[in-house]
Amino acid sequence: MAGEAELTPTTYIQHHLQNLVMPVGEGTFWTLHLDTLITSVLMGLLIVFAFWMATRKATAGVPGKWQAFVEILLEFVDRQARDTYHGTSKLVTPIAITLFFWILLMNMMKFIPADFIAKPLELLGVPYWKPVPTADVNATLGMSISVFFLMLFFALRSKGLFGFGKEFLTAPFGKWMMPFNLILNIVEWISKPISLAMRLFGNMFGGEIVFLLIWVLGGAGLLGLLGGAVFGLGWMIFHILVVPLQAFIFMMLSIVYLSLSEDSH
């Protein structure tokens, strides 16, 4: 009870931004963020189940409401992938669908107030729980690194090991500028997954802080109950646009990077 009495806005926000971690091995150098992992897996299973429900009763005639809705979403993603990617791989559309809908569901966890998840879990003995996986840089880096390895796979499949190595050393300034070409290409390839991860993480983490600030200020009476509700509603409406937009941007940039990895200078 003494800890509860000393709770301040700063400690409240820090508490909700703290991940539930589990050290692996000796020391704390390598830790697992259990809340990020569990929520990400649950969101992935949820989208698989939702799509399975649409296909389970799929008909060639007049589709049901859920089937029609899923078909519209899938056609939208498929059209974006086809318009952006100009290669021959058939993996791009499934990759785009997986990225978009998985990130969308993880981002949508932001719409649930933090205390609605954290407080019941505290009663069960879970001290911390960060509800939005994409507000954890480890999650966004994990996805962007996966895209990076897909870029390498697409480049090697398209150009071969010799062709990829030759282009890496000779483009864009020619063979006499190999050291500069190597440095430039290393920076270019590394910057892509880092910028991809940081863009999504920055938007989601910043939005999470603002939500918590509005919640704290409303609870402390600085905004008042009505003011806190109005500001919170306004910020949530704004994030109704931001949440799918960030998923869309991550998906589109991933497709662009996969397409560029197959292109030659």
CA 158 to chain centre: 28
What does the alpha-carbon distance between residue 65 and residue 148 come to, in Å, rounded to a whole number? 37
CA 75 to chain centre: 21
Please enumerate in sequence order all residues whose Cβ is within 8 A of that of 166, keeping only pairs 6 or more positions apart, or say none. none
199 is catalytic: yes
Q: Which of 203, 254, 259, 261 is catalytic?
A: 203
What does the alpha-carbon distance between residue 180 and residue 176 come to, in Å, rounded to a whole number? 9
**Which amino acid is located at 70 in the chain?**
V
Helices (H) and strands (E) in the chain, counts: 9, 2
Placement of tokens 């933090």 in the chain: 114
Containing 33, the helix (H) or strand (E) segment is strand 31-33
| Cross-strand bridge partners of residue 97 | none
Asked if 197 and 143 count as a contact pair (C-beta separation under 8 A), the reply is yes
Angle 106-145-100 from CA coordinates, rounded to 5° = 35
Placement of tokens 């559309």 in the chain: 93
Asked if 113 and 129 count as a contact pair (C-beta separation under 8 A), the reply is no
Asked if 229 and 217 count as a contact pair (C-beta separation under 8 A), the reply is no
What does the alpha-carbon distance between residue 137 and residue 141 come to, in Å, rounded to a whole number? 6
89 is catalytic: no
Residues with a known catalytic role: 195, 199, 203
